Amino acid sequence: MSKNILLLFFILALGISACGSSDELIPAADPSTGVTYFYMVENKYREYNVREIRYTGVGMSDTSVYQLREEVKEAFVNSQGEESRLIHRLTRPDANTPWRLDSVWTIRIERDRAVSIENNIPIVKMVFPAQTDRTWDGNIYNTRDTDQFRIINFGALTNIAVNDDLEATTTMTIEQENDEDGITFKDFRREIYADSIGLISKQYEVLKICTRSECEGLTVIQSGRFYRETIFAHGFIDEDGN
């Protein structure tokens, strides 16, 4: 066997060895990656500024501006034997008015997914391990049509304005829908979560555009809902319940 052939075998062996070493160095994804973004520690609270517009007809709408507070309450075991937590949702028209209980939701971590039951409708809010471009059906536990959610950004360093200051954190952006034809409808739904805080921003624009002759050439909303929720404070409830 010539020296050239021996040298070729030696180079090929090194290449195969290097490929094997590279594979061995790739760590398996931590199955819990992203769980702390769906923050469900007892006594955690989050407060939001909310702007909501409901369109009931051409030229007809109702605008609401208010504040929303979420409080993570005690754990309980549901009928399937899974640990869930209550979320008390309180609202007030402004900072000078006491909070009043509006509704109660429940949340849970179920194997590799986070589930929120909102007005008796279970929605899969995120899946684990979280990573950019991962997709899933958010409506898999309810009777609605399939709705593909997607993580469009995971682990981005972001400054958020909370507690009268700027706070640096990492975030996960989940796009629930981003579809429009520019003529008859728009469906844009996006939520942003922060590590060890939870939801910090929510924006929904589900709109039907007027297509009647008098609306031709104009973008006139016929019906639908615009909703924007932005966090302004968070922390833990003290012994006095504040």
Q: Which residues pair with 158 in a beta bridge?
A: 169
- Domain containing 48 — which CATH number? 2.40.360
Q: What is the DSSP letter of 73?
A: E
The domain total for the chain is 1
- Per the domain annotation, does 16 fall within a domain? no
- Per the domain annotation, does 60 fall within a domain? yes
Query: In terms of residue numbers, what domain contains 124?
Result: 35-236
- Per the domain annotation, does 53 fall within a domain? yes
> Residue 189 belongs to what H/E stretch?
strand 185-194
pTM to 2 decimal places: 0.86
State the average pLDDT over residues 126-154.
98
- Per the domain annotation, does 222 fall within a domain? yes
- Per the domain annotation, does 97 fall within a domain? yes
- Per the domain annotation, does 9 fall within a domain? no
C-alpha closest to that of 210 among 197, 199, 201, 219: 219
- pLDDT exceeds 60 at position 13: no
- Per the domain annotation, does 42 fall within a domain? yes
- Per the domain annotation, does 10 fall within a domain? no
Q: How confident is the model at residue 16 (pLDDT cuts 50, 70, 90)?
A: very low
Residues 146-195: tens digit of each pLDDT: 999 999 999 999 999 999 999 999 999 999 999 999 899 999 999 999 99
Average pLDDT, the chain: 90
- pLDDT exceeds 70 at position 196: yes
CA distance 30 to 22: 19
Higher pLDDT, 217 or 209: 209
